[in-house]
Chains A and B, each alone.
Chain A
Amino acid sequence: MSIYRGHILVCSGTGCVSSGTNKVVDGFKSNLDSNNLENEFLVVETGCHGFCEMGPVAIVYPEGTFYTRVTPEDTEKIVNEHLLKGRIVKELLYSPPQSETKIPSYKEIDFYKKQLRIALRNCGYINPEDIHEYIGKGGYEALGKVLNDMTPQQAVEEMKKSGLRGRGGGGFPTGLKWEFASKSESDKKYIICNADEGDPGAFMDRSILEGDPHSLIEGMIIAGYAIGADEGYVYVRAEYPLAIRRLRTAINQAEEFGLLGDDLLGSGFSFKLQIKEGAGAFVCGEETALMASIEGKRGMPRPRPPFPAVRGLWDKPSNINNVETFANVPVIYEKGADWFASIGTEKSKGTKVFALTGKINNTGLAEVPMGISLREIIYDIGGGVTDNKKFKAVQIGGPSGGCIPEELLDLPVDYDSLIDAGAMMGSGGLVVMDESTCMVDLAKFFLNFTQSESCGKCTPCREGTKRMLEILERITEGEGKEGDIELLEEVGESIKLTSLCGLGQTAPNPILSTLQYFRHEYEAHIKDKRCPAGACSSLTTYKIKPELCKACTLCKKVCPVSAITGEVKKLHEIDPEVCIKCGACVEKCKFNAIYKG
Chain B
Amino acid sequence: MSKIKSLEDLRRLRVEQERNEITRQNTGVQVIVGMGTCGIAAGARDAMLTILEEINKRNLKVNITQTGCIGMCQHEPLIDVIIPGEDRITYGLVTKDIARKIVAEHIVNNNIVKEAVIGRIEKQ
Contacts and interface: CB of A to CB of B under 8 A. Distances in A.
Judge: A and B partners, yes or no. Answer: yes
Interface of A: 1-7, 9, 40, 42, 61-63, 84-87, 125, 132-133, 135-138, 140-141, 144-145, 147-148, 256-259, 265-266
Nearest to B27: A62
Given A62-B64, A257-B4, A86 B14 contact: no
A133 B19 CA distance: 11
B2 to A, nearest CB: 8
B24 A144 contact: no
7 contacts: A5-B64, A7-B23, A61-B24, A84-B40, A85-B35, A141-B11, A256-B3
B82 interface: no
Contacts of B48: 5
Contact of B13 (A84, A86, A132): A132
| 6 closest residue pairs by CB, A with B | A86-B66, A136-B17, A258-B3, A144-B7, A62-B63, A86-B35
The prevalent SS among residues of B at the interface is helix
B99 interface: no
Given A61-B23, A140-B10, A135 B17 contact: yes
Contacts of A9: 24
A40 B49 CA distance: 9
A40 B52 contact: yes
Contacts of A85: 35-37, 40, 66, 68
A424 B49 CA distance: 56
A377 B117 CA distance: 49
B114 interface: no
A515 to B, nearest CB: 50
A3 B3 contact: no
Contact of A87 (B5, B20, B68): B68
A2 B66 CA distance: 19
Contacts of B20: 1, 3-4, 132, 136
A62 B13 contact: no
Contacts of A6: 23, 64
Contact of A132 (B3, B17, B34): B17
Contacts of B36: 85-87
Nearest to A256: B1
Contact of B14 (A125, A135, A266): A135
Given A132-B13, A265-B6, A265-B7, A62 B65 contact: yes
Contact of B56 (A3, A42, A256, A257): A3
Interface in B13-50: 13-14, 16-26, 33-37, 40, 48-49
A266 B6 contact: yes
Contacts of B33: 86
Given A85-B40, A85-B66, 6 more contacts: A1-B16, A3-B56, A86-B34, A132-B20, A141-B14, A256-B3
Nearest to A134: B17
B24 A125 contact: yes
B18 A63 contact: no
A148 B9 CA distance: 13
Contacts of B26: 62
B122 to A, nearest CB: 23
A136 B14 contact: yes
Contact of B1 (A4, A61, A87, A257): A257
Contact of A259 (B4, B22, B52): B4
B10 A141 contact: yes
Contacts of B19: 1, 3
Contacts of B5: 258, 265-266
B67 interface: yes
Contact of B35 (A62, A84, A135): A84
Given A85-B66, A132-B17, A3 B22 contact: yes
